[in-house]
Amino acid sequence: MIVFTVMYPNEPGKHFDMDYYTTKHIGLVKERVGHVLKGVSVEKGLSGGAPGSPATYAVVCRLQLENPEDLAAMAAHSPEFDADVPNFTDIIPIRDIREVVV
């Protein structure tokens, strides 16, 4: 299994519209590439590693795919997904692709 992760760093003064993200943006992703998605999770940061410290990431989204070839479907819609980002945040996202081994 492949996990495509999008992380939004928790930066002072930045905004993130969770309602828009979970309904409209994730809805768009599911509409465009739902046929290759095996699972989706959206995680809201609560705190960092040390007690009372801020979360490293405001939001982390994980898209689970069956195999690396499914990434092509994601890439085909990347311009549309990227164009929607200003509608819910001014945070520059960090993307990461990993293979699940356990």
pLDDT tens sequence for the chain (102 residues): 999 999 999 999 999 999 999 999 999 999 999 999 999 999 999 999 888 899 999 999 999 999 999 999 999 999 999 999 999 999 999 999 999 999
Q: Where exactly are the structural domains of the chain?
A: 7-46+53-96
Helix (H) or strand (E) holding 8: strand 2-9
CA angle 16/22/28 to nearest 5° reads 110
Instruction: Give the closest residue to 71 by CA, choosing from 97, 52, 95.
Output: 97
Q: Identify whether the C-beta of residue 40 lies closer than 8 Å to the C-beta of residue 61.
A: yes
Overall fold of domain 7-46+53-96: Alpha-Beta Plaits (3.30.70)
